[in-house]
Amino acid sequence: MTNKQRISLVKDVINHVDVNYDLFDIKNCEIITKRMVKQWAFKFDKGMIRKISKNEVDTLPYGY
C-alpha cells in the first residue's frame, strides 16, 4: 500500500485497497505458494472524523 493510497482511504476518496501477497504452505514435505489478495479499509469507529480543510482532518471522541 502506498502513502497516496493511505491518504485516499483517510479522506474517504476510495473504500478499500487490494494488497497482493504470497502465502507459503507446507503439505507432505512440499512447499506450496499461493497468490492471495487482502482488502484493507479505513474503519474509524472509536470517534468522529471532522474535516477541517481539503488537506486536514481531525478526530474527536464520541460525545464531544
Q: Is pLDDT of 14 > 80?
A: yes
Domain layout of the chain by residue ranges? 3-61
- Per-residue pLDDT, 55: 80
In angstroms, what CA-CA distances link 23 with 36, 40, 41? 7, 17, 21
pLDDT tens digits along 39-59: 988 776 677 777 788 788 787
pLDDT at 13 exceeding the cut of 70: yes
Half-sphere exposure of 5 (CA within 13 A, CB side): 10
% of the chain surpassing 70 pLDDT: 92
CA 4 to chain centre: 12
Mean pLDDT of 7-27: 88
Task: Give the per-residue SS3 of 47-58.
Answer: EEEEEEECCEEE
55: exposed, middle or buried (C-beta count within 10 Å: 0-12, 13-18, 19+)?
A: exposed
